[in-house]
Chains A and B, each alone.
Chain A
Amino acid sequence: IAGITQAPTSQILAAGRRMTLRCTQDMRHNAMYWYRQDLGLGLRLIHYSNTAGTTGKGEVPDGYSVSRANTDDFPLTLASAVPSQTSVYFCASSPNEGEQFFGPGTRLTVL
């Protein structure tokens, strides 16, 4: 693979179900991020990780959790999905001071 990938591309999920969005990068970037993008609200940071083994909360962390066991992977888990979590989710990575590289996104619908 080259760059940053996300899976699944899209998902329809029943409310109350658990869901993990996957994100993998092969650029050896230290920092990784999860955003959600909703119409009119722009990109909102959910969680981030400055380096493997550390994570931090962003602007809208409630209902989401992340882990960073290694440099390449940064999964986002919705423990019990709710309809307000319907959104497009973008994973990104960056070499700290540099620009961010975004994955293709996951379109999630919670019914």
Chain B
Amino acid sequence: QKEVEQNSGPLSVPEGAIASLNCTYSDRGSQSFFWYRQYSGKSPELIMFIYSNGDKEDGRFTAQLNKASQYVSLLIRDSQPSDSATYLCAVKNGWRGSYIPTFGRGTSLIVHP
């Protein structure tokens, strides 16, 4: 059973702070890692993807991947109230040509002014 675990939160941070969201996965064959943001009542939308160990930066967002420890994290710098949402971690392994992702249950982030 492939599993992706996230702390449900809520994670509460003040405006301007760094928000750190973490995700662990059980399948060592995992190859692709994604972070989605979901506002209340809306559909998930992609924030970041990462395929290789290390850091990947895009604006205020940094994804970090450590395959040896089987975790992927998302850092949000200079957090804004508009970042308040649920963040979903997703993992794909491409096993047997099937690219079905496994989703975590999401972490709720609250950025307060």
Interface residue ranges, A against B (CB under 8 Å) = 31, 33, 40-43, 45, 48, 50, 56, 58, 90, 94, 96-105
**Contacts of B17 on A, CB cut-off 8 Å?**
none
Judge whether B61 is part of the interface by a CB distance below 8 angstroms.
Answer: no
Q: Shortest CB–CB separation between residue B1 and chain A, in angstroms?
A: 10
Are A45 and B44 in touch, CB under 8 angstroms? no
Are A103 and B97 in touch, CB under 8 angstroms? no
Query: Contacting chain A: which of B19-27, B52-60, B69-77, B98-106?
Result: B98-106
Number of interface residues, chain B, beta carbon within 8 A: 22
Candidates B32, B88, B100; contact of A45 at CB < 8 Å: B100
**Contacts of A97 on B, CB cut-off 8 Å?**
32, 92, 94, 99
**Contacts of B90 on A, CB cut-off 8 Å?**
100
User: Roughly how many angstroms separate A58 CA and B42 CA in the complex, as a whole number?
Assistant: 22
**Contacts of A56 on B, CB cut-off 8 Å?**
98, 100
**Contacts of A94 on B, CB cut-off 8 Å?**
99
**Contacts of A101 on B, CB cut-off 8 Å?**
46
Are B43 and A58 in touch, CB under 8 angstroms? no
* Max count, chain B CB within 10 A of own CB: residue among A50, A94, A99, A104: A99
Q: Shortest CB–CB separation between residue A54 and chain B, in angstroms?
A: 10
Are B88 and A42 in touch, CB under 8 angstroms? yes
What is the chain B residue whose CB lies nearest that of A6?
Answer: B43
Instruction: Please list the 5 inter-chain residue pairs (A to B) with the smallest Cβ-Cβ separation, ordered nearest first.
Output: A42-B105, A102-B43, A99-B46, A43-B103, A96-B99
Are B98 and A102 in touch, CB under 8 angstroms? no
Are B49 and A105 in touch, CB under 8 angstroms? no
Q: Shortest CB–CB separation between residue A91 and chain B, in angstroms?
A: 9
**Contacts of A31 on B, CB cut-off 8 Å?**
99
Are B49 and A90 in touch, CB under 8 angstroms? no
Q: Shortest CB–CB separation between residue B101 and chain A, in angstroms?
A: 7
In the complex with contacts A90-B43, A97-B32, A99-B34, A42-B103 CB distance below 8 A: yes
What is the chain B residue whose CB lies nearest that of A95?
Answer: B99
